[in-house]
Structures are given as structure tokens and as C-alpha cells.
Amino acid sequence: MAEYRLPKDFFEKNLIKPYSTPQFFLVTQVIEGHEELNSKLKKLIAQFDEELTEKDEAQLRLIEETNDPAALVDLMRKKLRSPNMGTYIGKVLAHQSECLPLLLKRYLTSGHDAFIEASARVLVAADESCVRQLREMYDRIRNPYARAFACLVFGHRGMKDQLAFLVGEYEKFKRNYIDESFEQFPLAAIYLLSGKSII
């Protein structure tokens, strides 16, 4: 099968909106995956908001004390804070074989934004087989926000074989969700797969 090629003027005609959710997702991921930056973020929060620091520390203890796979997956509904995401993702990935099937099953039907966002953060770091499974079940994902985030995961994971699919999803989201910005997710994925910066 011939490799899919974007029209030459695709990026001129299809711009990433500034301050979009996919941009924010990628920026926070850089911070979460970088110990020094994450440490600086914690210190910055501590300087300005002692109560928030205490909440972050309590959440971190909860993550560290949770060992049951189902309970670990349930934590994704708790609006996990940026300073704790690195620890959380590491813990889930350490129990990947138990946690990821539960995560993917719930991803099919979840309409909970915090769960969808945390799931995407885990999936960009999970084994490729999990991400391929996400692609296989894509048409059964009920929530458009979850489908949009799945598109971003495919781009983030460098799934170049999905470029034509992502262009199709971009057009569908533009057509069917006029008042939302869901189309920005597959668009960001297309940018990533084409080596273009979205930040």
C-alpha cells in the first residue's frame, strides 16, 4: 500500500490554535517526565500555596500506598496533580499487565475528563501493544473527548501508519463538533507525525 501523503499546503491551511489542550498536555508531560523540572514546580507551588502543597503531599502518599490494580486505575478519577503524575505513571507501569486492561476497558465508556486525561498520560508511556489495542478499539470509544485524546496518543507514539486515519478524524471532528476544539487533538497528532512543533 502506498504511503499516505499530506497535501503540500496542509499546515498553512490547518493551524494549531494557541493555548490548546494538546499543547498544554505536551508541556506538562515534559515537566512530569523531568525530575529537576518537577522538583522546581513543587518548590514554586510551596512558595505560593501551602494548602495546595499539603494536598499534593497527601495525594502522593495515597499513590504510594495504593497497590491494588483496580484501586490504582480508580485514582485516575481524582484529578491527579502535575507534581505527582510522574510517580503515578511509574507505579501504573510497574503493574502494567494488571492495570492496563482495566484502564482500556474503562476508557471505552468513560466520560470523566480527569480519567481520560490521566489515561492518555499513562498510554503515551505504556507498551506499544497497549496503544495498538487502543487503536483497535477506537471505533467503540463512546466519548468524543476520549476519542480525541486517543488520536493525540497515536501521534505522540509516532504511529505514522495512522496518518490517513488521523486526517479523517480531524475532518470528522471539525464537521461534527463545531463548538468544541476536539479537532485540535488529531491535528496535533498530524503535526507530531510530520515532525512539526505544536508549541
Give 65-76 pLDDT, tens digit per residue: 999 999 999 999
Q: What is the pLDDT of residues 20-79, one digit of tens each?
A: 888 888 777 655 554 555 555 556 555 555 666 688 788 889 999 999 999 999 999 988
- Among 2-6, 67-71, 135-139, the least confident range: 2-6
Tell me the H-state helices in the chain.
Answer: 10-13, 21-32, 35-48, 50-65, 69-74, 82-94, 96-107, 113-123, 128-136, 144-156, 163-176, 184-193
Give residue 14's identity as a one-letter amino acid code: N
Q: Is the pLDDT of residue 126 over 60?
A: yes
Q: Return the amino acid letter for 78.
A: K
Residue identified by cell 495515597 is 62
pLDDT per position as a tens digit, 77-97: 988 887 788 889 999 999 999
